[in-house]
Chains A and B, each alone.
Chain A
């Protein structure tokens, strides 16, 4: 059993949660999302995010609008679908439970 594997798993779930949370606050295009996630030190490389966004979109959690950009090609502005909002709510609860679990266990 590799520690990297566990780390990646932990990170992956949280990354999903963070992206949904971010998009629940405002619509954003990938670069913006990346900026925020980088600022939060959650991702190191940008590549991680694209497959994830697409998967979330295919899962109907996200949708996007094309918006013309002044400096380049039109951008995909992602937003949370209704299903995505429900999903986020669930994740939030789970996160609170996990966080509680960690707090409790680490206090032992």
Chain B
């Protein structure tokens, strides 16, 4: 039989055996002594917890708290020493602990920050790397996406090339060392210590080895810098290339110098007049794109790796897939190109005589017209002359050449049109030549010639062209008018050279006993 006391712990009444009560009381007193007066709240919390624990003990038939219960509670709560909440003041005065080793500066690396990602963490990773606000990078990407969607491709490439920050180490490296006064100070302190050490240890060997190390480090730095410069160049080349390819395939021909040579709504329209079937044109289009995009993709990919010093090896299936795709595209392009090339293997022409009136004067005037004002509109642009203009149902070729010849007939001019073309065989080549649409008109003494020929799209481009042979009777003159520079070329006669069309306008040519000669050329 034991005496019991009724106690109030944390607002609850407990019946406790007397010796148990003594133990608890001395425990609480000791604990309390660990805290200062303004930490009374802690004691309240502790008592509340003890009450909670004790309540669990008296569940069921048991009503009195005994010594064992109290000891168990003390075991759970811990000895008074365990309550010690040593603050840093106690330890920081200790000399041993005061020796803090400065963290070595961490080289910043580019990772994808998937913790703060919207899609793949590319933007937030870049933001961390460059230490700028992530919204700026996102804005740039959205801008690029709006610009013909090139941002999407760029994002995909970066998503593939930049590794995800998986481990804590990655995450720390992603952020790199924060640059603040402390870190700068620490840096200089280290340098100072190094110098001191070197001065103290007058060891030649060490000096030499440190010099060698320094040299190696310098070389590595230079190599790294170079690789970065090359990387930046590759990325820029890749991105610029992508823009141009996308723009070009969308029909902005004049962005690439000399491609304005051929004008079409899109690259596909051009392919359609080259290839004999829509299918071949489609195959060619797809493979042209692949053949151009894959190297550009590779440029950006490996460039990014060089710039940000990403060591991870390329995802193998990606490499293989790209390689195979590129191989297939090149092969298919070769095949379709050969198919197209066959169509140019044979030559054929169509001959047409222009009727001339008997009562013409001594001078035949030649003037050039543009029948259709919608054609060759862009002819005055900076990048060279335009050769081909592809419209929805037909295309025009600026391939009209005038050849001056000595006339056999001594009294009358004679003019012949020779339409020529190429084809898979001579018969087809001749048919192609006959399909060339070209009409000259004789108005009095003036021969009006269009500056281009027209071919329907369904008849395809087969290198069609047109020669106008003008036979000049001896002593008579051919005058080239104001606009004759629009012609492709003017041959003085069939065999000798031809003058530049720009210089030929407003000139007179005469058949002399020595041949065809210009009277008033520069």
Is residue B251 within 8 Å, beta carbon to beta carbon, of the partner chain? no
Residues of B within 8 A of A50 (CB): 42, 45-46, 49, 83
Residues of B within 8 A of A101 (CB): 103
Is residue A100 within 8 Å, beta carbon to beta carbon, of the partner chain? yes
Is residue B324 within 8 Å, beta carbon to beta carbon, of the partner chain? no
CA–CA, A1 to B10, complex, Å? 40
CA–CA, A48 to B52, complex, Å? 17
Residues of A within 8 A of B77 (CB): 45-47
Report yes or no: A73 in contact with B12, Cβ–Cβ below 8 A: yes
Q: How far is the CB of B13 from chain A (nearest CB, A)?
A: 12
Report yes or no: B86 in contact with A12, Cβ–Cβ below 8 A: yes
Report yes or no: A54 in contact with B41, Cβ–Cβ below 8 A: yes
Report yes or no: A96 in contact with B45, Cβ–Cβ below 8 A: no
Report yes or no: A72 in contact with B51, Cβ–Cβ below 8 A: yes
With A51-B42, A73-B48, A73-B51 known as contacts, the answer to whether A104 contacts B169 (CB < 8 A) is: yes
Report yes or no: A73 in contact with B86, Cβ–Cβ below 8 A: no
Report yes or no: B83 in contact with A73, Cβ–Cβ below 8 A: no
Is residue A70 within 8 Å, beta carbon to beta carbon, of the partner chain? no
Is residue A55 within 8 Å, beta carbon to beta carbon, of the partner chain? yes
Residues of A within 8 A of B277 (CB): none
CA–CA, A97 to B177, complex, Å? 10
Report yes or no: A96 in contact with B172, Cβ–Cβ below 8 A: yes
Report yes or no: A53 in contact with B82, Cβ–Cβ below 8 A: no
Residues of B within 8 A of A53 (CB): 45
With A31-B49, A47-B46, A54-B45 known as contacts, the answer to whether A9 contacts B91 (CB < 8 A) is: yes
Q: How far is the CB of A68 from chain B (nearest CB, A)?
A: 13
Report yes or no: B83 in contact with A48, Cβ–Cβ below 8 A: yes
**Which parts of A4-59 form the interface with B (CB within 8 Å)?**
5, 8-9, 12, 30-31, 44-48, 50-55
Is residue B31 within 8 Å, beta carbon to beta carbon, of the partner chain? yes
Report yes or no: B78 in contact with A30, Cβ–Cβ below 8 A: no
CA–CA, A101 to B169, complex, Å? 8
With A47-B77, A51-B39 known as contacts, the answer to whether A72 contacts B168 (CB < 8 A) is: no
Q: Nearest B residue to A5 by beta-carbon distance?
A: B91
Q: Nearest B residue to A8 by beta-carbon distance?
A: B86
**Which parts of B162-204 form the interface with A (CB within 8 Å)?**
167-169, 171-173, 175
14 A-B contacts, Cβ less than 8 Å apart? A8-B86, A9-B97, A45-B82, A47-B80, A48-B83, A51-B34, A76-B45, A93-B175, A96-B172, A97-B172, A100-B106, A100-B168, A100-B169, A100-B173
Binding site for B on A (CB under 8 A): 1, 5, 8-9, 12, 30-31, 44-48, 50-55, 71-73, 76, 93, 96-97, 99-101, 103-104
The 9 closest A-B pairs by CB, nearest first: A45-B78, A47-B78, A51-B85, A100-B172, A99-B168, A47-B77, A100-B169, A47-B83, A47-B82
